[in-house]
Structure 1
Amino acid sequence: MIFGTGKQRKCYLVHTISEKLGGNVRRNILGFYALTECDTTSALNGISKKTAWVKYIAQPDTLESIGRDGDALAVSKFLCVLYGCCQDHPPNIDTCRYR
């Protein structure tokens, strides 16, 4: 992958980056991207892309079933992790956002 222009170009080896991420992160990264500020998704209120990435790296299995005919419960779990209120079972996104 080449990034930059002119003399500022840098080449990043995607397979090397992929190997460093780990299996769960690689397997669920498309779900993460779809939920957090991709080109067609609005930004999450008060959650930056960097904050979301740090929490995703810590718990990548929260998005295990996204995009694989899973239920919406995985989305609720991940969003509750982002907003910092995972006590509810099942997780309630509205309650987390309110808090």
Structure 2
Amino acid sequence: MLRTVDTDVVVLAISCVPKLEGLEELWVHIGTGRNHQYLACHTISSCLGPERTHVVPLFHSFTGCDTTSSFNGRGKKTAFEAWKAYPNVTRGFEALYRGEYDRADPEIQKFVITMYDRSCPSETVNECRKNLFTKKDRQLDNLPPTEAALKQHTLRAVLQAVYVWGQCLIKNQNIPCPSEWGWQKEGEVWVPLWTQSPMAAQACLELIRCRCLKSCRNKCNCSKRQLKCTELCNCGGNCK
């Protein structure tokens, strides 16, 4: 019996059932006060099967935990339904455990697409973003992340699930430097590296142009945003 108030412990307990030799039952008592329950982790592990039991920590970290962000508007229930709808992602999670990131990428992207729209025919999250934005007029917050952002998110999930939780039964863990796994250091604090691609707001600034034929006189689109006119503008960037 384990006593906890943390969902992470439940996930680890489920994944460790096959690893603990001679173990017949593993129970977790979770919750506080009147809001508590007993969970039979051995039964849950049996229902999931050996393959999903092995990768359930990575599923948990990938879909959001204390050290990794979740997908906006997509909770654990939605993510698990997507897992059932697209079971091939289990192979992708397994590939991540083996360090085969290129092989896992198509499965991971399709899983994320399934979380946002099961009917979307796209094979990449970038294509899915375009389709959902143009055809269904969705807000940016309701679109899946870009491929660049998803890559960094996946690295953080792998660091947590494979290298930290994956060594939970080892006394002296060997944890790699977070800088190689979707994190960057600002001063003395580690913060997420969200993406290595330019932010959309910054990239869009380069596309702003005015339609002034002669002189803008500080009243054009560029000047309103405190930008200088460029060769994209009708004035050719030579106005005053």
Question: What TM-score bracket applies, with the shorter chain setting the length?
Answer: 0.7 to 0.9
Q: State the match for 1:39 in structure 2.
A: 66
Q: State the match for 1:69 in structure 2.
A: 99
Deviations 1:3-57 (A, max 9, x none): 1235654322211111112233223322311210121222212322211111113
Conservation of the 8 A alpha-carbon contact between 2:52 and 2:90:
no
Q: Which has more radius of gyration?
A: 2
Q: State the match for 1:52 in structure 2.
A: 79
Work out the CA distance in 1 between the residues paired with 2:66 and 2:45. 22
Work out the CA distance in 2 between the residues paired with 1:77 and 1:27. 20
Conservation of the 8 A alpha-carbon contact between 2:88 and 2:107:
no
Conservation of the 8 A alpha-carbon contact between 2:64 and 2:70:
yes
* 2:121 counterpart of 1:87: yes
User: How many residues matched?
Assistant: 97
Matched AA of 1:32: F
TM-score, scaled relative to structure 1: 0.75
More strand per residue: 1 or 2?
A: 2
Conservation of the 8 A alpha-carbon contact between 1:62 and 1:78:
yes
Conservation of the 8 A alpha-carbon contact between 1:24 and 1:60:
no
Alignment gaps of 5+ in structure 2: 1-27, 133-240
TM-score, scaled relative to structure 2: 0.35
Of structures 1 and 2, the one scoring higher in RCO (CA 8 A, sep 6+) is 1
Three-state SS of the structure 1 residue aligned to 2:69 is: coil
Alignment gaps of 5+ in structure 1: none
